[in-house]
Amino acid sequence: ADIYERTAQELAQQGLGCECLGGGRLSHRPDERKIHVYGYSVGFGRADHSVTTEKLKAKYPDYEITWADEGY
Three-state SS sequence of the chain: CHHHHHHHHHHHHCCCCCCCCCECEEEEECCCCEEEEECCECCCEECCHHHHHHHHHHHCCCCEEEECCCCC
The 10 Å Cβ neighbour count of residue 57 is: 13
pLDDT level of residue 1 (50, 70, 90 thresholds): confident
Beta-strand relationship, 34-38 and 25-29: antiparallel
Report pTM: 0.81
pLDDT in tens, 17-68: 999 999 999 999 999 999 999 999 999 999 999 999 999 999 999 999 999 9
Which is more confidently placed, 15 or 69?
15
So what's the pLDDT on residue 62?
Answer: 97
Domains, the chain, with CATH or none: 22-68 (3.50.20.20)
